[in-house]
Amino acid sequence: MSFSIELAATLSGASVGQLRRWRATDLLRPEIHDARPAVYSFRDVVALRSFVRLRNDVSLQRIRKALGNLPNIEDLTEHPGSYTFGTDGATIAVLTEDGPVDLVKNPGQSIVATLADVFEPFTTTQGRQVPDFLRPRRHLSIDARRAGGLPTISGTRLPYENVAALVRTGEVPHDQVERFYPGVTPDAVEDAVEFDLSVRSQLRTA
């Protein structure tokens, strides 16, 4: 499964324009790098969300430096989305089994830093509200082991966009969706439609 640029923007907090710039400047090369239009993996979206969280407190230059130093730290050669990053406002740390390790000021040295939970909701420096990653809406959830990590109706494997598309195209009224997808409540339909509008709005702000 892959995430469209609009869905990646909605879940990471980056704008579509930022994602394009970051891809062009290799801040993060998507794992599926040959796809046109661009798409992102689950790990890409988690990494991007980390970068946006860090960007609230440190410069993009420091984030680039931290990512550049990451492979130089012993055993830290996985995709950036595999790690937990944090900052004390002066440097960036990555969480290891031995605790936080500095990636900017004194690369490789243990430090004390605040390691924010990247999955919690937050507000970007531009005032944009970024939803909870694992539960972007009350009746939607994300699990890397289900539907490739795409948002689904909670308690099901049904992607939100399948439900939203039925309503958006006018094929099925809100209150009739449960006939097609048993167990999908009207509240879940509302959440799917509202989240879909949020994702689709990324196209207008690109």
Looking at residue 115, its pLDDT comes to 67
Q: Please give the structure tokens belonging to residue 11.
A: 């879940």
What mean pLDDT comes out for the span 9-34?
A: 91
For residue 88, which of 109, 111, 68 has the smallest C-alpha distance?
111
Distance CA 194, CA 182 (A): 20
Q: Where are the domains of the chain?
A: 3-130, 140-205
Over the Cα atoms of the chain, what is R_g? Answer: 18
Domain 140-205: CATH architecture, name and number where available: Orthogonal Bundle (1.10)
Residues forming a β-bridge with 94: 85, 101
What are the pLDDT digits (tens) for 30-76?
Answer: 998 777 888 999 999 999 999 999 999 999 999 999 999 988 887 78
